[in-house]
Chain A
Amino acid sequence: MPESLARPQTGRTELGVVVMSYEEYVTLRWPTLYRTAYLMAGDHADAEDLVQSTLVKVYGAWDKVSRADSADAYVRRVLVNTFVSGRRPVRFTRERIVAAVPERAENVEGPEDRLSIWPHVAALPPKQRAVIVLRYYEDLSEQQIADALGCSPGTVKSNASLALASLRARMEGARS
């Protein structure tokens, strides 16, 4: 589970509202955003591109973002939309389907606990993958995911359902 995305109590105060500088925010949130981006993009190069593109976009709106009820929700939305709209489904599925698990993953778990579903997550279409990451890693509700994706909760539900069906089928296929 990622660290809490609640706004930290740092930065200058204006009219009783804690306002963080852009630099503070980037420093503080970079690791969390990077990990989420990695789970979506599947490799370090794409993850770094994704987070950087997101934060450059956010810079221009920082006055507004920093005063938002949840700067993290705003940034997450930019991140997810940058990921989904910037991806070519074909390229993504074709390239990611053979993506290896992260180098260190096998060291974290024993041989009996090898990652069995992550390689299949990596092969999902971008929107389904974003839903899976937001739901199972960020632990967001359907409404929060819908807000992040700019779609209805029903669309989130259907994407999750399709993703899970696909993952089950892929795992069965891998076993047989």
Chain B
Amino acid sequence: MSIDDLLTRELATVARGVEPPPAPVDQLVARGREARRRSRWYAAGAAAAAAAVVLGVVWSGATGGGDDARRQDPAGPAGDLPTGALPQVPIQVGTTTYVDGRALAEKYGPLVGDGQGGVALVPATRRWRVLTEPGEPELPAGTVGSPAPHPDGDRVAYVDRTGTLELWSYDGTRDQVISGPTPARESLLAGMDSSGNVYVTALEDPAAPPRVWNLADERDRPVTYAGAPVSLVGVTGAGLLFSTEPGGEHLLGVPDATGAIVEARGVPDATLAVSASGDRVAWLTDTQEGADGRLPSVTVEKLVGPPGRVVIDLPDGTGAGDVVWEDETHVLVTLFRDARGTTQSLLRCDLDGACEYAVPPPD
């Protein structure tokens, strides 16, 4: 039986075995009314501050200090937003891939590695292709999981079927080969950071405690924090996203030569991106308009130096898909509209909350 047939059969079997409880209609109506009442209150307050405003900026001098936030002059309705240059980092908007400030005519599969290092890495037929290099070279076949671009943009790391970690250069040479201690099928590359750390976990359990190779000494060690193994959340150029327990607070840190993370800072449990320097984090506060009237927004917060936070409301009627850093002072936010519209656009915002379209909505 094919895996497709197996999935179809077993999901149907499980669903048939589920007996839903009675629908709590009255309770839902009551909760819905309450949520709508709060939403109207919010809308009235917002309208007084910025009627017909689509973009607004809130600045708070204190981390998490929403009480002190003050709304600045709105940037104007979405229709008046200017359109600037095309995105300067690899990114996909709808079915279009943007690389080096140009839109590619060909349709590609999804970018992997979030464009880290300015590398556009996409799936080709049974291989991975680098769009940002002359000749669009392809990685060897037989990689396990997704490869990861080096933050410097000069190499790509991957794990092959033998469990070996390889660093692959665009001319086809393999710079460094590290044999993993675990059986091949258990190795899964989690990503690389700017410190030369390569994080690997287990394919059987992607959230298993990660191990780290530092490319300088070619040894792998378990990542620990406060003496205990950590739970993997993700990898950014600025370090490892982890928690001390499953479901716990998300932290960002870089292991030392022994694999120990000595200093970590809290980051939100949300779709987020850390700037390449590690100085700021941007995250999607709400990806869609909530029943309580909260608008989709992106929040940018300083991770070093004096605390500071900017909250940028997104254009009315849009939802946010993802956020990436274009450089140290600009974030890009992919936007979508209602499911029936399926239009997509890309917003570029600076650290003052001023925004423009990098890719405007279709007419």
Contact = CB atoms under 8 A, between A and B. Distances in A.
Nearest to A123: B205
B35 A56 contact: yes
Contact of B246 (A27, A35, A91, A155): A91
A170 B110 CA distance: 24
A2 interface: yes
B340 A69 contact: yes
B233 A90 contact: yes
Interface residues of B, number: 65
A102 B18 contact: yes
B263 to A, nearest CB: 21
Interface residues of A, number: 81
Interface in A157-176: 157-158, 161-162, 164-170, 172-173
Contacts of B19: 104
Nearest to A156: B110
Interface in B243-288: 243, 246-247, 269, 271, 287-288
Contacts of B269: 88
A78 B39 CA distance: 17
A48 B24 CA distance: 10
Interface in B320-344: 321, 336, 339-340, 342, 344
Interface in B139-191: 145-146, 185-186
Contact of B35 (A60, A77, A121, A167): A60
Nearest to A91: B247
A162 B144 CA distance: 10
Interface in B13-40: 13-21, 23-25, 27-29, 31-33, 35-36, 39
A34 B12 CA distance: 13
Contact of B339 (A1, A26, A150): A150
Contacts of A123: 205
Contact of A152 (B4, B92, B206, B291): B92
B110 A155 contact: yes
Contacts of B290: 57
A60 B144 CA distance: 45
A154 to B, nearest CB: 5
Given A56-B28, A137-B12, A158-B109, A172 B185 contact: yes
A117 B205 contact: no
Contacts of A44: 18, 21
Given A56-B291, A109-B13, A157-B109, A121 B7 contact: yes
B226 interface: no
A23 B29 contact: yes
A151 interface: yes
Contacts, number: 192
B212 interface: no
B204 A137 contact: no
A27 B23 contact: yes
A158 B14 contact: no
B16 A154 contact: no
A121 B4 CA distance: 12
A167 B16 contact: no
Nearest to B7: A136
A11 B4 CA distance: 38
A90 B246 contact: yes
Interface string B215-236: 0000000000000000111000
Given A73-B339, A108-B13, A57 B110 contact: no
Contact of B6 (A31, A104, A117): A117
Contacts of A35: 15, 18, 20
Contacts of B6: 116-117
Given A22-B32, A56-B31, A116-B10, A39 B17 contact: no
A102 B14 contact: yes
A69 B339 CA distance: 11
A153 B205 contact: no
A107 B205 CA distance: 29
A62 B247 CA distance: 33
A21 B15 CA distance: 27
29 contacts: A2-B15, A22-B29, A38-B14, A38-B15, A39-B11, A44-B18, A52-B27, A52-B28, A55-B32, A56-B35, A59-B28, A59-B29, A59-B33, A81-B288, A85-B288, A89-B207, A121-B7, A121-B11, A123-B205, A136-B4, A150-B287, A150-B288, A151-B336, A154-B95, A158-B109, A162-B146, A166-B206, A173-B186, A173-B203
Interface of B: 3-4, 6-8, 10-21, 23-25, 27-29, 31-33, 35-36, 39, 92, 94-95, 107-110, 123, 145-146, 185-186, 203-207, 231-233, 243, 246-247, 269, 271, 287-288, 290-291, 319, 321, 336, 339-340, 342, 344
Given A56-B35, A172-B185, 11 more contacts: A59-B32, A60-B36, A91-B246, A105-B14, A105-B17, A146-B342, A152-B110, A169-B203, A170-B203, A173-B203, A173-B204
